Amino acid sequence: MTRNLRVVVLGSTGSIGTQTLEVVRWRGWRVVGLAAGRNTELLQQQVRAFHPQVVYAEADPGPLPEGVARAGSAAEVAAWDADVVVAAIPGLAGLEPVRAAVGAGRRVALANKESMVAAGPLLQEEAQKRGATFVPVDSEHSALFQALMGERRVDVAELILTASGGPFLREPADLDSVTPAQALRHPRWAMGPKVTVDSATLMNKGLEVLEAQALFGFPLERIKVLVHPQSYVHGLVRYVDGQIKALMGPTDMRLAIQYALTYPERAPTPLAGEPLPARLDFEAPDLERFPALALAFRAGEQGGLAPAVLNAANEVAVAAFLEERLGFTGIPKIVESVLARTPAEPLTWENLYAADAWARREAEAML
């Protein structure tokens, strides 16, 4: 399968998308579809380099070469005839394309955690009906996915996600006055603004906990978080006999991307790798300093529409922080207030979109 893989890349001009195209170039695979945001200059370069069959962009991508179809939406590209769809459109904007790929029965290399957070049970139900599969791209979930391979679920005691701790793990003592510029200086990863701020609040890890719950189907009380500043151990699985399997390696997303595309095979890479750090540190997260992580667990315990509400309120609050309309510590305060008033309706597609819109209005009204 992996010799002539046909790949669709959603979010092709973002960090995950561009790294995916590097992996595609390594392996000599075929890119059949690209979907991007507003970086049309980079998209045009990608079109010339990879000659896809179909292209979509939020902004007018300009003239396309003969034989390249212009799609009306990212969801249309997601449903294109392909072997694997890399879902890397950030935020809840990535949900409809993920849903389209699942509806078409594709393998989804999932880098859009928000879709699984908000609609995990609905997507898993649809995947079972359509024969679609999910292989995670996030390094932590890829680590858990690989550590669970060949193991019986009954033998798993807990899943452990690691977190770098972000730029404010220890300093400054008072987070009230930190600026967007400070929050965007992540010590380990180069990511987009929204996910970088989420890493600074530890909301990103909270969303990853909810994603792990939806992906792997384990109860929330069996999913833990450890702060690991070196970011060399990506995820651990503790078994009932006390033994632990961990996936360790370089902090290079291309490794997890390639594995999601080649699974169940492995392929060599041109990466030299990193030496094992001289020390590996682990500690429990400080939930008083980072209340956003506790809020994510609260949303998971509540279930239903709560994870979607958490995600929507957080997206609004983070955007306001980046626009300097809200202080850093105001982010979890807004999320907590909106989460506490989550509608009690059951999780359905209709209710999900209604709750998402409601939560965004409520969060915006608090600014």
On whether 39 is known to bind a ligand per the annotation, the reply is yes
Task: Report how far residue 42's alpha carbon sits from residue 36's, in angstroms, rounded to the nearest whole number.
Answer: 9
On whether 311 is known to bind a ligand per the annotation, the reply is no
On whether 112 is known to bind a ligand per the annotation, the reply is yes
- 272: tokens are 């030299």
On whether 138 is known to bind a ligand per the annotation, the reply is yes
- 156: tokens are 């798993």
On whether 211 is known to bind a ligand per the annotation, the reply is no
On whether 15 is known to bind a ligand per the annotation, the reply is yes
On whether 208 is known to bind a ligand per the annotation, the reply is yes
Q: Give residue 25's identity as a one-letter amino acid code.
A: R
On whether 16 is known to bind a ligand per the annotation, the reply is yes
On whether 38 is known to bind a ligand per the annotation, the reply is yes
On whether 166 is known to bind a ligand per the annotation, the reply is no
On whether 314 is known to bind a ligand per the annotation, the reply is no
On whether 199 is known to bind a ligand per the annotation, the reply is yes
Task: Report how far residue 303's alpha carbon sits from residue 306's, in angstroms, rounded to the nearest whole number.
Answer: 6
**What separation in angstroms does the CA of 232 have from each of 186, 193, 247, 274?**
15, 23, 9, 9
On whether 192 is known to bind a ligand per the annotation, the reply is yes
Label residue 28 exposed, middle or buried (CB < 10 Å: 0-12, 13-18, 19+). Answer: exposed
On whether 204 is known to bind a ligand per the annotation, the reply is yes
Task: Report how far residue 71's alpha carbon sits from residue 94's, in angstroms, rounded to the nearest whole number.
Answer: 16
**What separation in angstroms does the CA of 223 have from each of 8, 120, 141, 174, 220?**
31, 16, 12, 29, 5
On whether 186 is known to bind a ligand per the annotation, the reply is yes
Task: Report how far residue 219's alpha carbon sits from residue 212's, in angstroms, rounded to the nearest whole number.
Answer: 10
Which residue ranges make up the annotated binding site for 1-deoxy-D-xylulose 5-phosphate? 113, 139-140, 164, 186, 199, 204-205, 208
Binding site as annotated, residues for Mn(2+)? 138, 140, 208
Residues annotated within a binding site for NADPH:
13-16, 37-39, 112, 114, 192
Question: Which residue ranges are tagged as binding site?
Answer: 13-16, 37-39, 112-114, 138-140, 164, 186, 192, 199, 204-205, 208
